[in-house]
Amino acid sequence: MRAFAKPGQNRIFIGYDPRQPIAFNILQHSILRRSSQPLSIVPLVLEQLPITRRGLTEFTYSRFLVPWLCGYEGRALFLDADMLCLADVSELFSLAEGEGVQVVMNELKYEWPSLMLFNCAACERLTPEYVETSPELFKMNWAPTYALPFEWNHIVGYDRPKPAKIVHFTRGIPVWEETGACEYAEEWHQERRAAMATCSFLELMGGSKHVA
């Protein structure tokens, strides 16, 4: 189970938790409709992966399998599911540099791994065995770490309000009453409506031979 897509493509892996599929669906839709380049988007479904380690979410630890899944080749991006992309993610890939991993180095260091742009070849320590057992994963000492601009992981409720390219609802997506009035809630709901939209039956199927 290795080498998803080609190293030349923008490969994106999103954490997936079956308790909240709406988060994955809205995030991947927000990425796809703003991207100027072809993408490969893969949900990290724990039952399909060679580890069983869980945390608060099912992708707490599986996020660190991304370099292995890419055959330790090329660049790849991991995103937490509770995010919203408001820019062309190709811009983020254009910032790729360094022999390691790039993160937004905000004040909440435990949130650094919520968005990781990997140079997969430099992350060979991240084997399934290491990810399953190591207590060091969130210390980010398995490869050199480089900084990304803050707008690529704006943490709602912690960072000062400002324009963001990727919004992170780390306190919960605004689908609940408890989080419904948070910053960027309206943008998330706009994306939800767009993701669930369709044209009329006649517009789509009017010229089809399957219509009686």
Please indicate, yes or no, if residue 5 is contained in any of the structural domains: no
Which domain, by its residues, includes 197? 10-205
Over the Cα atoms of the chain, what is R_g? 18
User: CA–CA separation, 140 vs 91, rounded Å?
Assistant: 24
Q: pTM score, two decimals?
A: 0.94
Please indicate, yes or no, if residue 96 is contained in any of the structural domains: yes
- Bin 74: left if φ > 0, else alpha if -120 < ψ < 50, else beta: left
Please indicate, yes or no, if residue 139 is contained in any of the structural domains: yes
Please indicate, yes or no, if residue 2 is contained in any of the structural domains: no
Please indicate, yes or no, if residue 3 is contained in any of the structural domains: no
Write the CATH number for 168.
3.90.550.10
What tokens were used for 196? 């669930």
SS (H, E, C) 79-107: ECCCEEECCCHHHHHCCCCCCCEEECCCC
Q: What is the pLDDT of residues 38-81, one digit of tens each?
A: 999 999 999 999 999 999 999 999 999 999 999 999 999 999 99
Taking the CB of residue 122, how many other CB atoms lie within 10 A of it? 16
User: CA–CA separation, 69 vs 42, rounded Å?
Assistant: 10
Please state the domain count of the chain: 1
Q: What is the pLDDT of residues 104-136, one digit of tens each?
A: 999 999 999 999 999 999 999 999 999 999 999
Which of 54, 72, 74, 75 minimizes the C-alpha distance to 63?
54
Please indicate, yes or no, if residue 112 is contained in any of the structural domains: yes
With a CB cutoff of 8 Å and minimum separation 6, the contacts of 146 are: 97, 98, 100, 101, 102, 103
Which of 138, 90, 84 minimizes the C-alpha distance to 111?
138
Please indicate, yes or no, if residue 106 is contained in any of the structural domains: yes
pLDDT band at 196 (very low <50, low <70, confident <90, very high): very high
